[in-house]
Amino acid sequence: MTAYALALSLLAAPAVEIVGEAELFAPGVASTDHSDIRLTISPDGRTALWFSRDRPGGPGGYDIWIARRTGTGWSPPTPVSFSSPGRDFDPAFSRDGRFVYFCSDRPGGIGKDDLYRVAVTRTGFGTAENLGPAVNSAASEYAPMLSPDGRRLLFSSDRPGGAGRHDLYTAQAKARGFAAAAPLPGAINTPADEFDASFLADSRTLVFARAPSMKDDRVDLYATTSHSGRYGAGMILPLAVNDPVKDSYGPMLDWSAPDRLTFSSQRGGAQSMELYRITYRLVSTKVSGGRHGR
């Protein structure tokens, strides 16, 4: 096998194996008749955050909700203290549980939807902090997620200079913030919408959403792994994750069980987006003697 053919085969290799079936998360509490999206669970497994586009009782149209684990299940959800009257969405705990990253169009931002973070305190949350111009642009930024190793911020943006519509970007973490963001290298970004991405436990493998147009076409989840720092176009995940008719998006690594992925989908004829958890297994691809295997 030539070096070029080997590189192509590695870029096309399966990244993850889905194990078992998806489990609906907290039905009637978090997964409801409202549109519930992007579940993130704290490392200790005691706190769940997600956002809803239409759940009543929050200060804005898009609100982030919180539920606490109790001895009998999950508490009734309430809006988080850092919610605003604007759009607040796409929450993501950091691996150490010290911060929650999220998106908002609240006043004082740089663009349409900006990336923020808020400190997790003993009594709740601190004050929301805009991540600044190295990360945010005059366009929209979605779905921030800090890698498990804490080195890279992953998100999507429809800013100029990408391969198409929304593209996936990363920014290297620095002592007091992040370096300038750049598109993910390789074939992962296309003329379609690539968005809502999550690192898996190895900080190399990604699960992400793709659609020709996220507003007009069905959205599916894909997975890909970097090789020599470059990402392949990705392979679509099976029907255990993707619905054959309706959307699936909002993936997030479950920090309380790093072999588990959370995602949102309108599965099985559901009337709205609901929250799911599913177990995955990383597929190891290594090169030996001019061949590749698993």
**The pLDDT of residue 286 is above 80:** no
DSSP line for the chain:
--HHHHHHHHHHS--EEEEEEEEE-SBTTTBSSS-EEEEEE-TTS-EEEEEESS-TTSSSSBEEEEEEEETTEEPPPEE-TT--SSBEEEEEE-TTSSEEEEEE--TT-SSSSEEEEEEB-SSSB---EE--TTT--SS-EEEEEE-TTSSEEEEEE--TTSSSSSEEEEEEEETTEEPPPEEPSBSS--SSEEEEEEE-TTSSEEEEEEES-TTTS--EEEEEEEETTEE---EE--TTTS-SSS-EEEEEE-TTSTTEEEEEE--TT-SS-EEEEEEEEEPP-EEETTEEE-
Residue 29 lies in a domain: yes
202 or 8, which is more confident: 202
Torsion angle defined by CA atoms of residues 152, 153, 156 and 160, in that order, rounded to the nearest 10 degrees: -80
Residue 134 lies in a domain: yes
Residue 18 lies in a domain: yes
What are the CA-CA distances from residue 239 to residues 242, 243, 251, 256 (Å)?
5, 6, 15, 24
Query: How many of the other CB atoms lie within 10 Å of CB of 213?
Result: 11
For the chain, how many structural domains are there in total?
A: 1
The 8 Å CB, 24+ separation contacts for 8-12 are 9/292, 10/227, 10/232, 10/285, 10/287, 10/292, 11/186, 11/187, 11/224, 11/227, 11/230, 11/231, 11/232, 11/233, 12/232, 12/233, 12/235
For 106-110, what is the mean pLDDT?
A: 94
Give pLDDT tens digits for 123-159. 899 999 999 999 999 999 999 999 999 999 999 999 9
Q: Return the CATH number at 239.
A: 2.115.10.20
Domain span at residue 15? 3-265+275-293
Residue 97 lies in a domain: yes
Query: How many of the other CB atoms lie within 10 Å of CB of 237?
Result: 24
**The pLDDT of residue 12 is above 80:** no
Residue 270 lies in a domain: no
Residue 59 lies in a domain: yes
**The pLDDT of residue 2 is above 60:** no
- Contact between 167 and 194 (Cβ < 8 Å): yes
pLDDT tier for residue 163 given thresholds of 50, 70 and 90: confident
d(CA 158, CA 168): 9
Percentage of residues of the chain with pLDDT beyond 90? 83
pTM of this prediction? Answer: 0.91
- Contact between 263 and 209 (Cβ < 8 Å): no
- Contact between 271 and 54 (Cβ < 8 Å): no
pLDDT tier for residue 14 given thresholds of 50, 70 and 90: low
pLDDT tier for residue 102 given thresholds of 50, 70 and 90: very high
Q: Side-chain half-sphere of 189: how many Cα atoms within 13 Å?
A: 22
Give phi and psi for 69, each to the nearest 5.
-75, 130
d(CA 273, CA 270): 7
For 152-175, what is the mean pLDDT?
A: 93
Query: Taking all residues of the chain, what is their mean pLDDT, rounded to a whole number?
Result: 91
